[in-house]
Every structure is written in structure tokens, then in C-alpha cells.
Structure 1
Amino acid sequence: MPEKSPSTRPVLLTVALVLVGLQVLGLIVLAVGGLGGVLGAASLEQVTIVTLAVVLLGLALLVGAAGWGLWQGKRWGRGPVITWQLLLLAVGVSGLGGQQWWATVIPIVMSLVIIAGVLVPSSRAATDRGGRPDAVL
């Protein structure tokens, strides 16, 4: 089956995947920005900062690869993308009522838009190509 061209991709799926890309970019910025505190920190704090950066970069890699898989029309990317959105949704909902309401509302809305964009029937049909991820032999 040929790869989906951008013209045949549903608009909702395209919007969802652009938002996933923004989330991946945000994870990378958090990881790299956090590494800026390594030089002035104590050794135990340095280990914590580097570990957190590695985890964030790994998460960015996983979510980014899943988004790329969906962009190519492969259904295996749905699981990681939806799981990440559900985690963000849970964190956002748990922070409701805080002083900075926008810091919880934006992730909630973004997660709901992505979930809807990936799961609508037209998006599911566009990403119905089976198979394993390219990284799996």
C-alpha cells in the first residue's frame, strides 16, 4: 500500500499530528533546558537532572516515532500517542483549580483534540495500514 499523501490525510488527523509534534518539541525543550542547571548543582542533583533529561528525551523519541508512524498511515502509532494523551489528561485534570488555570486547561484541550483527531473514523481509516514498526525486526 503506498504511503498516504498529505492531500489524502484527514484534516483532523493532520491537526492532531501537528499538536503531537508540538508536544514532542516541548519535551525536547524541557530536557535540554533542564540540563542548563547541571553546572551549578550538587552531584546528587546533577544525577537527577541528567536522569530526568534522558527520560524526557526518550519519551519525546517514543511519542515522535509513534506520531511519524501515524503520519505514514501505520496503525501501531495510535497506542503510544493515545496513552501519552491520557497521561497528560490525567495530569491536567489533577491540576485544575490551581492559580494558573491556563497551565492545566491547555494540556487538557490539546489532549482531547489529539485523541479525537486520531480516533475519528476517517483518521482510523487513514491509519489502518498494519504491520510492525520499522524498528522491530
Structure 2
Amino acid sequence: LPLRFWVNVIKNPQFVFDIHKSSITDACLSVVAQTFMDSCSTSEHRLGKDSPSNKLLYAKDIPNYKSWVERYYRDIAKMPSISDQDMDAYLVEQSRLHGTEFNTLSALSELYFYINKYKEEILTALDRDGYCRKHKLRHKLEQAINLMSGSS
């Protein structure tokens, strides 16, 4: 999770925020991302005079950061497990709390434009699949497309 998600967000803040990332900012974020990756790494990095400067910049801080990461995972391991029922209840509650934040019409519109763009490929795939044929999914999708497009 840290390396697949957080490094990507650190390196590419424009994925989350409406900002322009200059080349200088990109270089700085690369150093931060590399430091984060080194802090989460379980292997020991040997640095020398030929090591890249971005690794040398925070080299003395990495052991401290590694101890924070180790403590974080140790603390998680000590936490009691959560039951499936508790997790389901939590997710239902979160869904209820944030239900008004989701724009259903906008999502339906985006789905419609995507389906319309790839309509032939999707309908062909529905025809080829036995489960989809059994449940008449092609026909149901065609009905939905007709409703959304306003045709009868």
C-alpha cells in the first residue's frame, strides 16, 4: 500500500489536486518519494561517494524514519481483529454518512458515455458469454441505452 498508493500520490499530486507540477516541484517530490520508499524498505542501503545525491540528502534520517514505519506496523499488528459484521456495519454507516456526496446522475451519465463509445464491443461480449445470454443482459443493456438516449 505505501509503495503502490502513497508514492504515486506523492510523485503525482496532480492526480488528486487541481495543480500544475513544475519540473522543479517534480524533482523535489522525487526526492521525497525516494526517501519514503527507502524508509519503508526492509533491505539495508549501502551508500557511498557514487550514490545519487537524492539518496544522500536524507540518508542520515532514514534510520529514524524506518523505526517509525516499523513501529506503525507493530502497532497495527497489536490491534484487535475486526469482525466481518463490524466491518459491514462500518461500511454501511460510512455509505449513509456520505451518500449525499455521490452524484448518481453524473455517474450514470459517465457510464452512458462509456457504454455508448464501446457499445458494439460490449454487446458482442455480452452475446458471447453464456451467463449473460442466460440472463438476457444484452437486451437489458440495449433497453437502458434506449432509455438514456431518449429513443423508444
Same fold (TM over 0.5): no
From the CA coordinates, give the structure whose radius of gyration is larger.
2
The structure whose RCO (Cα within 8 Å, separation 6+) is larger is 1
Alignment TM-score, normalising by the size of structure 2: 0.27
Alignment TM-score, normalising by the size of structure 1: 0.29
